[in-house]
């Protein structure tokens, strides 16, 4: 229960946790705040093609990530793993408890969902048949932007702070006197 969570958090630190949770979880901002990325020298953009990393990751975990387009992540069997609040899929009624059984009147496969995204600029919609327990529903998602995958591009006139943060650093040098003070001996008595 959310009230129990808020009460427990207030016992740890007296703050308006209810308002914070409502704002951050139940009323998420649909626009990604990219100020930190810009200060780190990068800009978030969207690409119609997956990067090699995205392809390998999806193959490894067995899912398709369409969170940047219609707002869902779907397993290779059609199970809805994630629905982005406020997304096209969310507004159409897609829920994480459901499973996609058909896309545009064809049996669900990851390839069929990807094809529906690719065809969306000309089709203007994606039709899903979803199953939730014993119930089936036909959902029509008004979508025409094609596949969208996030990609970071370095801003030419900015320092690449992100790379310097992510670059492994050597451990600090330890002087001989510091090394000898760390060594203890046990003479056995």
Angle at 147 between CA 23 and CA 113, to 5 degrees: 100
* Tens-binned pLDDT, residue by residue, of the chain (189 aa): 778 888 888 888 888 888 777 776 665 554 556 677 777 788 888 889 988 988 898 888 888 999 999 999 999 999 999 999 899 999 999 999 899 999 999 999 999 999 999 999 999 999 999 999 999 999 999 999 999 998 888 887 877 777 777 788 777 777 766 665 555 555 554
CA distances 11 to 18, 24, 151, 158, 177, Å, are 13, 20, 41, 43, 47
* Residue limits of CATH 2.30.42.10 in the chain: 47-146
Instruction: Tell me which DSSP letter residue 170 carries.
Output: P
pLDDT computed for residue 78 by the predictor: 96
Backbone φ, ψ for residue 157 (5° rounding)? -85, 5
Q: Write down the pLDDT at residue 3.
A: 81
Which among 29, 49, 41 has a CA at the least distance from the CA of 151?
49
- Greatest distance between any 2 Cα atoms in the chain: 85
Confidence at residue 29, expressed as pLDDT on a 0 to 100 scale: 55
User: CATH code for 47-146?
Assistant: 2.30.42.10
pLDDT score for 59: 87
Whole-number pLDDT of residue 154: 83
The pTM for the full model equals: 0.67
Beta bridge mates, 64? 74
Burial degree of 106 (CB within 10 A; 0-12, 13-18, 19+) = middle
The whole-number pLDDT of residue 110 equals 93
Q: Quote the pLDDT of residue 137.
A: 96
């Amino acid at each position: 229960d959310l009230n129990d969570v808020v009460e427990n958090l207030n016992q740890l630190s007296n703050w308006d946790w209810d308002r914070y949770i409502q704002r951050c979880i139940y009323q998420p901002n649909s626009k990604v705040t990219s100020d930190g990325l810009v200060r780190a020298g990068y800009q978030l953009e969207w690409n119609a093609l997956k990067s090699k990393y995205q392809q390998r990751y999806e193959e490894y975990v067995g899912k398709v990530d369409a969170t940047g387009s219609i707002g869902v992540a779907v397993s290779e069997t059609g199970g809805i793993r994630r629905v982005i609040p406020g997304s096209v899929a969310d507004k159409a009624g897609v829920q994480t408890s459901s499973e996609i059984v058909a896309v545009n009147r064809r049996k669900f496969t990851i390839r069929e969902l990807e094809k529906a995204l690719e065809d969306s600029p000309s089709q203007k919609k994606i039709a899903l048949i979803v199953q939730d327990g014993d119930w089936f529903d036909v959902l029509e998602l008004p979508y025409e932007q094609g596949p969208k995958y996030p990609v970071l591009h370095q801003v030419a006139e900015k320092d690449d702070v992100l790379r310097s943060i992510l670059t492994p650093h050597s451990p600090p040098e330890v002087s001989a006197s510091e090394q000898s003070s760390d060594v203890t001996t046990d003479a056995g008595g």
